[in-house]
C-alpha cells in the first residue's frame, strides 16, 4: 500500500532532537516498520495548491496520515480524486481538517489517537489562563527590554482566586482543565456542553453546568474553549456572542482557531471588551504574517497570549501519538478492531459523539 504523511518541517531542531517525531525529518518513526511490511511511505510538508506533493500523491494513496499542527486539508474535491484512499489517520487529536461528511459518503475511515495529548493541552490552557490574568507577557517584555515600571503591569494584573472560570466543552480536555482549576480556589467553575458530566465527576470538581451559551459566557471572568470544530461550532464566538461576555473577561482557545471569528476577537481585545485572548490554534495554519491575532493588544498594551500551534505536540505527546498511529496502522493491516475511542468515522458513518453532535 501507499502511505502518505503530511508533516511539518523540523529543520535543525528535528535533526538535533530525534524525539520530534511529528516532523518530516523523523517521520513519526514509521519508515522502518512500513517498509519492512512492504509498504511505500511518502513524507512531505508540501500541502498547499495544485502543485503540492499532497495533491500529486493523493490520487493513488491508500492511507493518509496528517497532523493538526500542519494540517493537510482533505476536502470533498480531493477525496473524489483519491480513488484508492481507504483510511485517514490523524497523528494527534482533532480531525476537522478532513471533510467528515464526505468521508462518510465515500466510506473512508477517519481515525485519530484520542487521548494522546489531552494532558499536554490541559496544561497549556492553565498556563494561558494564568499569563493573561497575571498580565505576564507585558511584564516579561519589560524585563527583557531593560525597562522597569511595575505600575504599568500591576494596573492590569489580577488573581485567579475568586474568579468565575468556565469551559466551553467538558470532554477529555475540558474536564481535565476543571480538575486543574480546583486548587486555585476560584469563586465558581462552570461548563457548557451539549451533555452533562457524570454526576460523580461534576461533584468532584464542584462544577455547575449552564445550558444557555449566552448566559454561560455572561457569568464568566475567564472562558476557555475545549470543543471540537464542526458545523455547530465554527464561528461560534463572534461579535454577537462577545457582546454577552463580561466586560474585561479573558478568553483562551487551544481547541481550534475557526471556532472564533478572528476579526471579531481581535476587535474585542482592541476595544477592551475582552481584556485578553490567548491560544495556539489559528483559523489558518501556518498563520499569515498579517493575521490580526499576531498584533492585537488591549488598550493597556497587553492581552495577547498567542503562540504557534504546539500545545498538543510536546515531546511527550509526540511519543504518544506516534505510537498510537503505528498501532492504528498495525490493527488495520492485520484486520484487528480499532480502539473505539480512536474512530471518528467508521465505514459509512460518524462514530464519535463529539463530531456527531451538530
Annotated active-site residue in 26, 57, 109, 117? 117
Give residue-wise pLDDT tens across range 239-278: 999 999 999 999 999 999 999 999 999 999 999 999 999 9
Annotated active-site residue in 172, 256, 275, 320? 256
Report the 10 Å Cβ neighbour count for 225. Answer: 25
Alpha carbon distance, N-terminus to C-terminus of the chain: 34
> CA 117 to CA 312: how far, in whole Å?
5
117 counts as catalytic: yes
Q: 56: exposed, middle or buried (C-beta count within 10 Å: 0-12, 13-18, 19+)? A: middle
Instruction: Tell me: pLDDT of 63 over 90.
Output: yes
226 counts as catalytic: no
Annotated active-site residue in 309, 318, 320, 342? 309
Which set of grid coordinates corresponds to residue 180?
486543574
Q: How crowded is the C-beta side of 188, counted as CA atoms within 13 Å?
A: 10
209 counts as catalytic: no
pLDDT at residue 303 in the model:
98
Assess contact for 256 and 94: CB atoms under 8 A: yes
Backbone angles phi, psi at 145, to 5 degrees: -85, -10
pLDDT at residue 358 in the model:
45
180 counts as catalytic: no
Give residue-wise pLDDT tens across range 301-328: 999 999 999 999 999 999 999 999 999 9
pLDDT at residue 353 in the model:
74
Q: Which DSSP letter does residue 183 get?
A: G
Give residue-wise pLDDT tens across range 91-140: 999 898 999 999 999 999 999 999 999 999 999 999 999 999 999 999 99
Annotated active-site residue in 261, 273, 285, 318? 285
Assess contact for 133 and 275: CB atoms under 8 A: no
Work out the angle at residue 130's Cα, subtended by the Cα atoms of residues 125 and 135, and round it to the nearest 5 degrees. Answer: 130
Assess contact for 102 and 79: CB atoms under 8 A: yes
Instruction: Tell me: pLDDT of 69 over 70.
Output: yes
> CA 136 to CA 120: how far, in whole Å?
21
Report the 10 Å Cβ neighbour count for 335. Answer: 6
Amino acid at each position: 500500500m501507499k502511505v502518505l504523511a503530511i508533516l511539518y518541517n523540523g529543520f535543525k531542531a528535528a535533526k538535533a532532537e530525534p524525539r520530534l517525531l511529528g516532523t518530516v525529518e523523523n517521520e513519526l518513526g514509521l519508515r522502518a516498520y512500513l517498509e519492512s511490511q512492504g509498504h511505500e511511505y511518502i513524507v512531505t510538508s508540501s500541502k498547499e495548491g495544485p502543485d503540492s506533493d499532497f495533491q500529486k500523491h493523493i490520487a493513488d494513496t491508500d492511507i493518509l496520515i496528517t497532523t493538526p499542527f500542519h494540517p493537510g486539508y482533505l476536502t470533498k474535491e480531493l477525496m473524489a480524486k483519491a480513488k484508492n484512499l481507504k483510511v485517514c489517520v490523524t497523528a494527534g487529536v482533532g480531525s476537522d481538517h478532513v471533510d467528515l461528511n464526505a468521508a462518510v459518503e465515500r466510506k473512508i475511515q477517519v481515525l485519530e489517537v484520542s487521548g494522546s495529548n489531552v494532558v499536554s493541552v490541559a496544561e497549556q490552557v492553565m498556563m494561558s489562563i494564568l499569563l493573561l490574568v497575571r498580565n505576564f507577557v507585558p511584564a516579561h517584555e519589560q524585563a527583557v527590554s531593560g525597562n522597569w515600571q511595575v505600575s504599568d503591569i500591576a494596573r492590569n494584573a489580577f488573581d485567579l482566586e475568586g474568579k468565575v472560570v468556565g469551559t466551553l466543552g467538558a470532554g477529555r480536555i475540558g474536564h481535565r482543565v476543571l480538575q486543574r482549576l480546583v486548587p486555585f480556589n476560584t469563586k465558581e467553575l462552570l461548563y457548557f456542553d451539549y451533555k452533562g458530566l457524570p454526576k460523580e465527576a461534576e461533584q468532584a470538581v464542584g462544577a455547575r453546568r449552564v445550558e444557555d451559551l449566552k448566559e454561560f459566557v455572561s457569568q464568566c471572568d475567564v472562558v476557555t474553549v475545549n470543543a471540537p470544530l464542526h458545523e455547530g461550532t465554527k464561528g461560534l464566538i463572534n461579535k454577537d456572542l462577545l457582546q454577552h461576555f463580561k466586560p474585561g473577561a479573558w478568553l483562551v482557545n487551544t481547541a481550534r482557531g475557526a471556532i472564533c471569528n478572528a476579526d471579531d476577537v481581535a476587535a474585542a481585545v482592541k476595544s477592551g471588551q475582552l481584556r485578553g485572548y490567548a491560544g495556539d490554534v489559528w483559523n489558518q495554519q501556518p498563520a499569515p504574517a498579517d493575521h490580526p491575532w499576531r498584533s492585537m493588544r488591549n488598550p493597556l498594551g497587553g492581552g495577547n497570549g498567542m503562540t504557534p500551534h504546539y500545545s498538543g505536540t510536546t515531546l511527550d505527546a509526540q511519543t504518544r501519538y506516534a505510537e498510537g498511529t503505528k498501532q492504528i496502522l498495525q490493527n488495520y493491516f492485520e484486520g484487528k478492531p480499532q480502539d473505539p475511542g480512536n474512530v471518528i468515522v467508521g465505514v459509512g458513518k460518524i462514530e464519535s459523539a463529539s463530531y456527531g453532535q451538530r
